[in-house]
Amino acid sequence: MNRRRTGIAAAALGVVVTLGLSGCFTAFLPEAPPTAVTSTPTGEDVAEDLRPFYEQHLDWSSCENGFECTTVTAPMDWENPGLGDIELAVIRQAARGGDRLGSLLTNPGGPGASGYDFVADSIDYAVDSDLQEHYDIVGFDPRGVGRSTAVTCLDADEMDEYLYGLVDGERGSQEWIDAIAQGSKDFGQACLDHTGEALQYINTVNAARDMDLLRALLGDEKLNYLGYSYGTFLGATYAELYPEKVGRLVLDGAIDPSTSNFEVTKTQAMGFESALRAYLEDCLGGRECPFDGSVDDAMAVISELLASVDASPIRNDDGRMLGSSTLLTAIIYPLYSPDAWSALSDMFRDVMSGNAGYAFFFADAYNGRNDDGTYADNSTEAFMAYNCLDYTYNADPAKMAEEAKELAEDAPVIGPYMSYGDIGCANWPFTDGAERTEIHAEGAAPILVVGTTNDPATPYVWAEALADQLDSGVLVTYEGEGHTAYNKGSSCVNDTVDSFFIDGTVPSRDPMCD
């Protein structure tokens, strides 16, 4: 897959043919819950075979910076709880004020980003001080991620080759396709060999069921949840599964669960192209811009630069070669936030001078690669695992070639390097992914859907679509740049979200924030 991860960690500061963006998974939703025979800590009935999970005692212990941490045991397969268990790592900060409203679960996106680290390392970025006063702020690593039962595939050197290695053959040729397919197959087999049976059950529906277990064990009758980016899909899936247990949900940087696999790729390519043009307009209007002329002139230069490194990669000091996929990753990473645009100019200037260091700095940050060549987390492996079961794929060369032409027409600079994305998951060990369909969550309480008008990673049209699909969806628009909007500087967005979480105030109309 060539689509981009959706997570706000990138906004805080390769395109690889096997990376993607999660979509809808509702084909796996159950028709009805099993017979209830026991009660959760909040008094709800659950099935006999789920009793050990819902009755477990959580042992909280002090951990870094005054937080509390625990581990939750969940079924590996929610449809067959006796098959085995997985573990979920959970961290929380107790409500700082006297008027506690319950727990607020958070997810930073990905899929594959660590919700544990999101809270432990950057709680003030995750939620503002008002929410911290009223809620226990809870972060967790979803199944397959980080400190939870994790997807494991490659060692550091192998991951370097997977993420940064050059592929033989001309892009789109049979030689190139065969090489990508073999690399994807080898990667998937390594994930299965090192992860084991749990790999088959890393998907968003199971993660949403895990989230309901967390809700119950935390003692909340209903789920209060703030999900960013991919986390909006996780939250919407929860609402579809458990509409009667929806408390106050805010989904920021929304994914449209009904969008087809190719339409997701195309819309995101167009989103990054739009953000790139916005960057160039700002750059050309200031000083020390590495481009001159019009925005179209500059876009042509970037296109030529990508083609140049595709044909003649630039060697980095550590021996890695800067090809077009890694350069595109380096371009896209700072597009997540306008605050990084000046650094993007520095990167372009460096590459135009024949250097690869700055580009690898950005690509490494995106991929979680440390200075010593190790990897900080398993986000790439988890990202792949989720996407391969949250989507279906068609790796027919003729179909992919047709779609590549459409991508090049709609996003001439970005699109050509986001094509042929189905190859990766078509060679995954498990190919029974889900078809996209709408999520309605009939009967759920009001759900706020926040969308940014020029969000490159989760384009605004997706927020409009999700708010329209949800029976109780309420759209909150932020007219601006960057990926996600809450706690990013807009008092209008912050006030709307905080009033909803704290007072239950639902906007009577879209506030159209700026």
Query: Above 60 in pLDDT, residue 417?
Result: yes
Residues 357 and 376: their CA atoms lie apart, in Å, by 19
User: Which residue, of 426, 452, 481, is where some domain finishes?
Assistant: 426
In this prediction, residue 59 carries a pLDDT of 95
Question: Taking a C-beta distance cutoff of 8 angstroms, is the pair 234, 142 a contact?
Answer: yes
DSSP 8-class letter at 232: H
User: Is residue 30 domain-resident?
Assistant: no
- 194 catalytically annotated: no
| Percent of the chain scoring above 90 in pLDDT | 85
Residues 412 and 299: their CA atoms lie apart, in Å, by 9
User: Which residue, of 399, 426, 453, is where some domain finishes?
Assistant: 426
State the catalytic residue, choosing from 148, 184, 229, 379: 229
In this prediction, residue 16 carries a pLDDT of 30
User: Is residue 40 domain-resident?
Assistant: no
- 308 catalytically annotated: no
Q: Provide the whole-model pTM.
A: 0.90
User: Is residue 44 domain-resident?
Assistant: no
In terms of domains, do 395 and 411 share one?
A: yes
State the catalytic residue, choosing from 141, 252, 274, 483: 483
Name which of 4-18, 118-132, 189-203 the model is least confident about: 4-18
User: Which residue, of 400, 426, 452, is where some domain finishes?
Assistant: 426
Name which of 2-16, 52-66, 169-183, 475-489 the model is least confident about: 2-16
The band of 120, judged by pLDDT with boundaries at 50, 70 and 90, is very high
Determine the residue type at 246.
V
- 471 catalytically annotated: no
Residues 128 and 108: their CA atoms lie apart, in Å, by 15
State the catalytic residue, choosing from 455, 472, 490, 498: 455
Mean pLDDT of the chain: 91
User: Is residue 36 domain-resident?
Assistant: no
User: Is residue 433 domain-resident?
Assistant: no
Query: Above 70 in pLDDT, residue 4?
Result: no
DSSP 8-class letter at 339: G
In terms of domains, do 286 and 332 share one?
A: yes
In this prediction, residue 103 carries a pLDDT of 98
Question: Taking a C-beta distance cutoff of 8 angstroms, is the pair 316, 322 a contact?
Answer: yes
In terms of domains, do 396 and 346 share one?
A: yes
Extended strands (E) in 131-257: 135-140, 223-228, 246-252
**Residue 99 burial by CB count (10 A; 0-12/13-18/19+): exposed, middle or buried?**
exposed
In terms of domains, do 375 and 469 share one?
A: no
CATH label of the domain that carries residue 224: 3.40.50.1820
In terms of domains, do 161 and 218 share one?
A: no
Relative to beta strand 85-93, strand 68-75 is antiparallel
User: Is residue 27 domain-resident?
Assistant: no
CA-based nearest residue to 92, from 112, 63, 113, 72: 63
In this prediction, residue 320 carries a pLDDT of 97
User: Is residue 370 domain-resident?
Assistant: yes
In terms of domains, do 103 and 248 share one?
A: yes
* Digit-coded pLDDT (tens) for 314-334: 999 999 999 999 999 999 999
**DSSP-H helix ranges across 429-490:** 460-469
Report CA Rg, the chain.
Answer: 22
Establish whether the linkage from the previous residue to 313 is cis, with ω within 30° of 0: no
In this prediction, residue 394 carries a pLDDT of 86
In this prediction, residue 3 carries a pLDDT of 55
State both tokens at 378.
Answer: 């398993």
The band of 463, judged by pLDDT with boundaries at 50, 70 and 90, is very high
Domain count, the chain: 2
In terms of domains, do 243 and 379 share one?
A: no
* Digit-coded pLDDT (tens) for 17-59: 222 333 332 222 223 233 333 446 666 788 999 999 999 999 9
* Digit-coded pLDDT (tens) for 209-259: 999 999 999 999 999 999 999 999 999 999 999 999 999 999 999 999 998
Determine the residue type at 323.
G
Mean pLDDT of 291-309: 97
* Digit-coded pLDDT (tens) for 360-378: 999 999 999 999 999 999 9
Query: What separation in angstroms does the CA of 493 have from each of 114, 335, 340, 488, 511?
Result: 24, 21, 21, 9, 8
DSSP 8-class letter at 445: P
In terms of domains, do 318 and 466 share one?
A: no
Residues 451 and 228: their CA atoms lie apart, in Å, by 10
In this prediction, residue 21 carries a pLDDT of 32
| Domain membership of residue 318 as a residue range | 10-20+153-194+262-426
In terms of domains, do 125 and 165 share one?
A: no
In terms of domains, do 322 and 295 share one?
A: yes
In terms of domains, do 323 and 243 share one?
A: no
In terms of domains, do 211 and 343 share one?
A: no
User: Is residue 496 domain-resident?
Assistant: yes
In this prediction, residue 30 carries a pLDDT of 29
DSSP 8-class letter at 114: -
In this prediction, residue 20 carries a pLDDT of 32
